[in-house]
Structure 1
Amino acid sequence: MILINLLPHREIANKRRKEVFQMAMFGALLAGLLAAAVVFSIYQALIDSQQERNSYLKSEISQLDNQIKDIKGLEEEINSLKARQKSVEDLQADRNLPVYLLSDITQLLPEGVYITSMKQTGMNVEVKGSAQSNERVSEVLRNISNGSPWFTKPILKEIVSGTVEVAPKDLRKVVTFTMSFTLVRSTEVKQQNQERKP
């Protein structure tokens, strides 16, 4: 006997395929959502850990900034103390400068040159005096320039010829002059002496 299937087998097969396809689509959708959720949670965890690291670094940077400010304050204090120390050392070293000034100036003046006034302003000294001739004034300038380590940069500011009455009816020709020079600090003289030694 021949069996004939009168049921709509193609529609049933199509329906089954549609159901399998829909189940596969639904499964793929669920798998995609699950994968997206996993990826999102992984990235969110990475972002959170990076933000924690960033906040830790920010707190450490702020601590370092505070330490840098403290160090800068200490450096300023150290520089201030060094400047004060140098000032005190300069004052202590320069306290003998007037002695060197008077001692050396008397040795450097040739015969026939007289100082009438001397004024010190800081490290600059202005000397006024009289001499028997222009040559004597030139000799004083040379002696100050080369004869003492305590003096430097002599400058002749003014020279005037005139006469002086030594005795009644005895007039002598003299030259009055004004010159200035700079005193050299004791530390610089010591440094120059050390440089000259081999």
Structure 2
Amino acid sequence: MARINLLPWRDELRRKRRKQFNTLAALAVLAMVGVIAAVHWYNEERIAYQLDRNKFLEQKTAELNAKIKEIRNLDKQRKDLVARMEIIQRLQSDRPEIVHVFDELVTTLPEGVYYESVTQKENILSVTGVAQSNAFVSSLMRNLEGSPWLEAPALKEIKASQNRTGSPAADLLRLAKFGLQFRQTSTTDDEDGEADKKG
């Protein structure tokens, strides 16, 4: 009976299987490396895209902030300009009234009285002056009450003082130093009201 040696064939089969396994393992490793490389590349691309987008958004935000700042500056300039225009308009509208007020200050001043100072804050006028007597101060207050441009005179202070008359006898004249406060009226409002009533 013939004898067949099967050992070389089995060794050959084992070597082939081992080679196939090594090849498949290498392919699997290469595939895994390829997948990892692809995922890494994809993530890098996404990160680069997001960084570019962030940079773009930061640039646009900076541009918007600059425009907002410019708009605020323009708005401030506009408000300043409007405020100046209002002041100019108020001064132009008050100019005739100031003329009337100074005219009334002269018109209502009786003889024997003179002003030492006149100050105005908004529509409140404060005056100091000297009168020959208290009666002259009362006369001045009555004249102010009757003025169409001035109202509500209030006596703030009055005190007696003496002044030399300049006569050879060097007689002393008793004077009354006073302080008054009153309001400036605006007849333009009254005229507008009368015009509305007529209309």
- Structure-1-length-normalised TM-score: 0.60
Return closer, same or farther for 1:19/1:108 CA change in 2, 3 Å cut-off: farther
Equivalent residue, structure 2, for 1:89: 89
Equivalent residue, structure 2, for 1:53: 53
Q: Distance in 2 between matches of 1:54 and 1:29?
A: 37
Correspondences of 1:48-197 after superposition (within 5 Å)? 48-102=48-102, 115-117=113-115, 119-123=117-121, 124-130=125-131, 132-133=133-134, 140=141, 156=156, 158-161=157-160, 175-181=176-182, 183=184, 190=189
Q: Distance in 1 between matches of 2:70 and 2:116?
A: 50
Which stretch shows the higher mean deviation, 114-123 or 88-97?
A: 114-123
What is the CA distance between 1:85 and its match in structure 2? 0.7
Q: Is the 8 A contact 1:113 1:129 kept in 2?
A: no
What is the CA distance between 1:57 and its match in structure 2? 2.3
List structure 1 runs of 4+ shifted beyond 6 angstroms. 1-4, 106-109, 171-174
- Give identity over the alignment, percent: 23
What is the CA distance between 1:183 and its match in structure 2? 4.7
What is the CA distance between 1:117 and its match in structure 2? 0.6
| Long gaps (5+) in structure 2 | 166-171
Q: Distance in 1 between matches of 2:29 and 2:5?
A: 37
Q: Distance in 1 between matches of 2:68 and 2:148?
A: 49
Q: Distance in 2 between matches of 1:115 and 1:18?
A: 133
Q: Is the 8 A contact 2:101 2:149 kept in 1?
A: no
Q: Is the 8 A contact 1:116 1:129 kept in 2?
A: yes
Q: Distance in 2 between matches of 1:77 and 1:52?
A: 37
User: Is residue 39 from structure 1 mapped to residue 39 from structure 2 by the alignment?
Assistant: yes
Equivalent residue, structure 1, for 2:169: none
Return closer, same or farther for 1:163/1:77 CA change in 2, 3 Å cut-off: closer
Q: Distance in 2 between matches of 1:75 and 1:121?
A: 36
| Long gaps (5+) in structure 1 | 166-170
Equivalent residue, structure 2, for 1:168: none
- Structure-2-length-normalised TM-score: 0.60
Q: Distance in 1 between matches of 2:102 and 2:153?
A: 17
Q: Distance in 2 between matches of 1:98 and 1:114?
A: 24
Which stretch shows the higher mean deviation, 116-125 or 36-45?
A: 116-125
- Give the superposed CA RMSD: 4.8
Return closer, same or farther for 1:126/1:8 CA change in 2, 3 Å cut-off: farther
Which stretch shows the higher mean deviation, 61-70 or 85-94?
A: 61-70
Return closer, same or farther for 1:122/1:176 CA change in 2, 3 Å cut-off: closer
SS state at 1:161 partner: strand
Q: Which amino acid aligns with 2:160?
A: S
